[in-house]
Amino acid sequence: MKKLFGTDGVRGEAGKFPLDEATVRAIGSSLTRHLTARKGSAPQIVIGRDTRESGPWIEGALTGGAREAGAEIRSAGIITTPGIAFLARTLPADAGVVISASHNPYHDNGIKVFDPSGRKLDDAMERLIEADIAESGSSRTPQEINSLAPNGSAELRTRYRDYLAVEVAGDLSLDGMRIVIDCANGASYEIAPDLFARLGADVIAINSQPDGKNINRDCGSLHIEALQQRVTAERADLGVAFDGDADRALFADGLGNFIDGDVTMWVLANYLKSRGRLDGDLVVATVMSNIGLEIALRSEQIRLMRTDVGDKYVLEELIRSGASLGGEQSGHIIFPTLSLAGDGMLTTILVLRVMRDEARSLSDLARGMQRYPQLLVNVRVREKRAFDEVPEIQRVAQQIERELSGRGRLLLRYSGTEPLARVMIEGENESEIRKQAEELADVIRRELGSES
């Protein structure tokens, strides 16, 4: 059986395996049966979705399968992924399910499952569900299932918004601040403008009119340019762009400069350390974070611990190390004492807290971190031999690492889905790292390259 769950749940084109009606029903049924076996009684599941046109029928299919297997279901309707993680943690719920494909286009969708801690479903449960899928079957059509989708509870959405406004924001007042919010025509389209207006900000919401097909389309965290332009045109203090399910946030400062997840972590790490709240003087990021973040943190005696790509791996290291801050360049930022899921709105509140407490603009707070030039070269290969088993590749790679000498970084890895070797080099001089990347790529091509 093909593996269904990736690092971020099940994802694919809506209506096609594994997001066809029969498989979705089977996932709901299987999840319920295994939760029942663990708990010893009927489980309670809270469910929500983003704004994709396929969301209602997928929710209906999953809910139908879960109810037939004995689950009690509460639906929050359209809500962010971290909103469901919060509800799974704070309600009497045995699991939280989100119907979303995050930053993907509207024709895709996905299923993410959280346990009662607000952490993504464990690997063991995922394997059990995968083993059940082949036995599933159903004759209902998406149109018939649509009527089964439960009405979303406004009370559940309000509970999450109040948590952000009261418990996270606390006494934070945004009076006098102007903020541009790009909602990506996604799950945050109502709650985000309402939340920040409630905190006192003058809010300008863009891309906040979802139609089922425009989620992430030329907007949100993948298309930051319009936000940058709007911030400068409106003379705003800050712009924030969410993705479709609002588990990530990217920013534009008051000058329109792009602030990615690396710079966000730099700003937050400095603030937390200055107040003695950066546990272990440690930040957790992935192998894709820019070397500039590592060098900047080092200058402040803050260590950077790197993980594989994926917020799942960042969270695992945060829990293992006891660190208080981690994230990805893409804008997934995790504060494990507040939430075990990345939360774009929570991150935004904390960035605004730093700006208020320090009485400084985001552009000023971002100073001290320099993004180093980064080059990525892909080489098609005939086989994925370990690089350290090929002497010439090892020799050239070690030579490049000596040349970079702590002021740059080489990352050599294979694609997980294609027959490609990826050569990524960061350094101070773009022409030099280009030459290094091309030299190493040529060696890989000679030693392992595909004839085609």
342-360 residue pLDDT tens: 999 999 999 999 999 999 9
Report helix, strand or coil for 229. Answer: helix
Known active-site residue 452? no
Residue ranges of the chain whose pLDDT lies below 50: 138-140, 143, 147
Q: Under CATH, which architecture does the 374-448 domain have?
A: 2-Layer Sandwich (3.30)
Tell me: domain 158-365, CATH 3.40.50.1820, correct?
Answer: no
Rounded Cα–Cα distance for residues 305 and 220 (Å): 28
Select which of 29, 75, 102, 188 is catalytic. 102
Residue 442 vs residues 306, 394, 395, 401: alpha-carbon distances, Å: 28, 13, 13, 17
Domain layout of the chain by residue ranges = 10-152, 158-365, 374-448
pLDDT score at 417: 67
Which residues share a beta bridge with 95? 45
- The fold of 10-152 is Alpha-D-Glucose-1,6-Bisphosphate; Chain A, domain 3 (3.40.120)
Report helix, strand or coil for 440. Answer: helix
Would the CATH topology of 10-152 be identical to that of 158-365? Answer: yes
pTM: 0.90
pLDDT score at 79: 98
Q: Cβ-count burial of 282 within 10 angstroms (0-12 exposed, 13-18 middle, 19+ buried)?
A: buried
pLDDT score at 3: 76
